[in-house]
């Protein structure tokens, strides 16, 4: 199967077999990278990276990924682009497509990414929007497979805000056959249409996606426990209000005991320690958070190689 030229806007648009292809290549590239092997799969090719949101992992992992694949990456600040001064997205998209072989964008509105992809005839990769974070979810399931050896019969519990990370996690898990249980405060559940789409695209027809307000129920018998910040970028003014509503959803050692004894702990970072997760948990023996962060690099290398190669 060829993924060349395919956009990665949301995992809704990617099949189970395509996701497995990414994971298999990511694992291969990671192993060979550790052995000192170089993969010039994108030699002579350039990725443009548009950032309208701050970033640590996304920028560095994409830049290093392109370098390790033999290509180049350009950091494009919207204030340095005419797009930041009112140029229509469709004009920016068509011009960039004449210069580049791929575009990665990290922004607020998902509709901006869709418009960019509509007009650019090169692959567009969603580095994060307010609705989806597909690259993170690919790294998540890659990490789970590394630690658990596969996906069959696994359960992932997610605590906190039903946000972009939760949306993409639900879709990724459904498409590789993992059960998901989310515990969210009332009013902060994931979008119903995302849950419905995930149920429709399940690899395993009997796999479950449940949403509850009870953290203990969600964590029961979980193989992996995931949490994220309670107030994402752009929601800073809600921080104090969210602290009150989410305080019972903190991932601490007492709550972690509800999961299986060998459950791994996941967090997409950055973490607000002693808010959504305690320092004891994120630094504990069950934490796979740094493996997860590293796997952003390897999962994205696989995506880049497949869609730009």
Cβ 282 vs Cβ 18: under 8 Å:
no
Check if 296 is active-site: yes
Q: Is the peptide bond before 182 cis (omega within 30 degrees of 0)?
A: no
- Of the residues 7, 140, 223, 228, only one is catalytic, namely 228
Beta strands in 100-220 (DSSP E): 102-106, 124-128, 155-159, 179-183, 209-212
Task: Supply the DSSP string of 17-35, one letter for each residue.
Answer: HHHHHHHHHHHHHHHHHHT
Contact between residue 141 and residue 178 where contact means Cβ atoms under 8 Å apart: yes
Q: Which of 145, 202, 267, 296 is catalytic?
A: 296
- Catalytic residue list contains 24: no
Secondary element (H or E) of residue 293: helix 289-308
- Residue 191 annotated in active site: no
Catalytic annotation on 228? Answer: yes
Is 173 among the catalytic positions?
no
The set of residues, in sequence order, having a beta carbon less than 8 Å from that of 199 and lying 6+ positions away, is 174, 209
Q: Is 273 a catalytic residue?
A: no
Q: Which of 52, 68, 136, 292 is catalytic?
A: 136
Active-site hit among 135, 173, 184, 268: 268
Which one from 57, 106, 167, 202 is the annotated catalytic residue? 106
Residues tagged active-site = 106, 133, 136, 228, 268, 296
């Amino acid at each position: 199967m060829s993924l060349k030229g395919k956009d990665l806007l949301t995992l809704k648009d990617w099949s189970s077999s395509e996701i497995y292809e990414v994971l298999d290549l990511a694992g291969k590239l990671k192993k060979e990278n550790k052995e000192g092997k170089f993969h010039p799969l994108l030699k002579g090719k350039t990725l443009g990276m548009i950032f309208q949101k701050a970033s640590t992992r996304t920028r560095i992992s994409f830049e290093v990924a392109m370098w390790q694949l033999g290509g180049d990456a350009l950091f494009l600040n919207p204030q340095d682009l005419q797009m930041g001064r009112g140029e229509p997205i469709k004009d920016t998209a068509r011009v960039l497509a004449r210069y580049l072989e791929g575009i990665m964008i990290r922004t607020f509105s998902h509709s901006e990414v869709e418009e960019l992809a509509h007009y650019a005839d090169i692959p567009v990769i969603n580095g994060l929007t307010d609705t989806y974070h597909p690259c993170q979810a690919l790294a998540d399931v890659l990490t789970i497979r590394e630690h658990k050896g596969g996906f069959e019969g696994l359960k992932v519990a997610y605590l906190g805000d039903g946000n972009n990370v939760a949306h993409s996690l639900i879709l990724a898990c459904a498409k590789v056959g993992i059960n998901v249980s989310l515990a969210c405060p009332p009013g902060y559940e994931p979008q119903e249409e995302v849950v419905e789409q995930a149920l429709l695209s399940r690899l395993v027809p009997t796999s479950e996606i449940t949403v509850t307000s009870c953290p203990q129920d969600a964590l029961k018998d979980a193989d992996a426990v995931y949490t994220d910040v309670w107030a994402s970028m752009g929601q800073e003014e809600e921080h104090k209000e969210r602290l009150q509503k989410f305080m019972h959803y903190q991932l601490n050692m007492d709550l972690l005991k509800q999961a299986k004894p060998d459950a791994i702990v996941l967090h997409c970072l950055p973490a607000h320690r002693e808010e959504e997760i305690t320092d004891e948990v994120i630094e504990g023996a069950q934490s796979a958070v740094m493996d997860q962060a590293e796997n952003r690099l390897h999962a994205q290398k696989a995506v880049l190689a497949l869609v730009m190669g």
